[in-house]
A and B are shown apart, each in its own frame.
Chain A
Amino acid sequence: MSLQRLTLGFVPLLDCAPLVVAQERGFAAAEGLDLELIRENSWANIRDRVIVGHFQAAHMLGPMPIASALGIGHLTVPMIAPMALGSAGNAITVSMVLWSDLEAAGAHLGASPAHQGAALKHVVDERRRRGLDPLTLAMVYPFSCHNYELRYWLCACGIDPDLDVLLVVIPPPFMVDALRAGQIDGFCAGEPWNSLAVERSVGCIVTSTAEIWNRSPEKVLGMRADWAESHTRETRGLVRALCAAAHWCDRPERHAELAQLLSRPQYVGESAEILLRGIAGRMLLAPGTEPKPVPDFLTYAAHAANDPQPRHALWFYEQMVRWGQVPASPAAAAAARSAYRPDLYRTSLAGTAFQIIDNGGERDDPSGFFDTRSS
């Protein structure tokens, strides 16, 4: 039987791994699928090329299908996420200059987000008192986990992300150069960009999203709702193939192989050694230091990381409301919630060995957030 060809878009980041592994290690073929993977330069391209049908599905930021469902920033084309591609994996990196200011204010490598945030608050206040420009911090896209996580952390540390600092969007490939040139003082991005900043002696990693919100939602598999509806067999096969690939990616004995695979130029590129840091959660936080383990830095499958949980969709929606991207309404909340499709995830995996863990109702377990943890 010949394989059915599907074209999927991805952005060169560590969490595109399930797509790459599904194709390269036979999980797609086992479902009768042949994946053509197209590397893209921008999230806007990913969205547009899914809308016009160049891609049947894509590696997407978790909030993107929700933004599409709500018609913000773009026309309303119903998109859905029948599975998530993992959890966490972003970090916050600052320039060497800002890091030395933070150290002077009490920060130290590997300290908790609350501790680092208190130092940042001190630096921000001090700059204002001395009449200096506010710090400029970059993230990757307005509807991104990065934007909301960075804002969450700043706010929880007493820093107003709209008044006390300047938040800008910079495409990840330009991040390290912008940091070196002093155009920005820090950024929140996925890997390998943080590790590259450290490797090139341009920045230090202050904290990670795994520490700000343990097991936080991240990328999803996104597709048009009408495509999923008219291609149930392909959708289910794709979910199964990507789940199997995500479990493969999570196994520590596969990490070195995965780093090699992703380091190919058509995928993420960059050296396997740099990629391995994020994959294995052993991060060099500052130039010339020893790797430090960051538990659950990036999870591909464990802890129900592939389950597209409506509570996560609702959290993203709430952040959109919180930061003025969309007005609150019950209809909008319902639309956001229904962009995530745990029902499709479950029907796809029915009869397979994958376990479905029902770990929570509508609301988030607050213990995952750094500022609500009891410890």
Chain B
Amino acid sequence: MKICDLGPLVSTMNLNDPLITALHILGNTKGHYRVVVVNEEGKVHGLIIGRRLLEILLGRRGSSIRAKKGFESVLQEPVNLFMDESYQIFPENTDAETVIKYMVENALGHVILVDQAGAYKGIIEESCILNRLRGKRFGLQTRNIMSENVRIIDPKATIRYAAQTMIDNRVRRLPVTLKSTIVGIVTASDIIRHIIRQEGKTGKLGLSDVARILDEGVAKVMSQNVHSIQPDSDAGEALDKMVNLDVSGLPVVSKEGQLFGIVSRVDFIKIAKLKGVSTIVEMMA
């Protein structure tokens, strides 16, 4: 199995495209958290992720240009100035086991594939691997792979606070709880989508528009229909549920409704560590 058999071609943008294009791509494409940035020849130059965009919207990145030229100018600057370099680029003919081994060893959520000339050929993300593992059972409980240290927020919190919490804790989703009961879940993509929708309504995205949106309550953007998984269910059931519902993570909740942790797509890495990469690759074949 060659690794490029696995990977979907996620959205790309040109390095000279304005930053706002990245917001549009992530705001309008469900299930995408990263945009690969390429040059005119299609060569990979880097990538921009949802959390980075939140940082820019909150003024925690891009602050120098923002101070000199204003917020709206930041959105019109080339994405090249704000993106991250990618240090996980592999030749497209690399075999699946190698790439998965690399992702597992280094706890990475993605690897970018290029051809001989360095042109973008695809990205291997957690979701490609989960798709291949659909229906599989591992003899491991979800509690064995979940993260226990869960950041939560109150439904009365603002979108700004949610975004800040995501940035500070380097996470992309937060359960929203009321008296220990989960009433929603909010992701970086939800916030970006909400902002882009507002732009669609008014045709512009100024600093005051963003400030107003960020001061809205998080309840406005969270998903209220929260799907969860029980801690003693097989880890495979958790992966299936994420694939079938097209969500990037699930709260792990007891029968009594108590929040135990959170499981996300990237936790397939923990399964691979516990079961062995070769076993996982065989299961994917």
Pairing of A with B: no
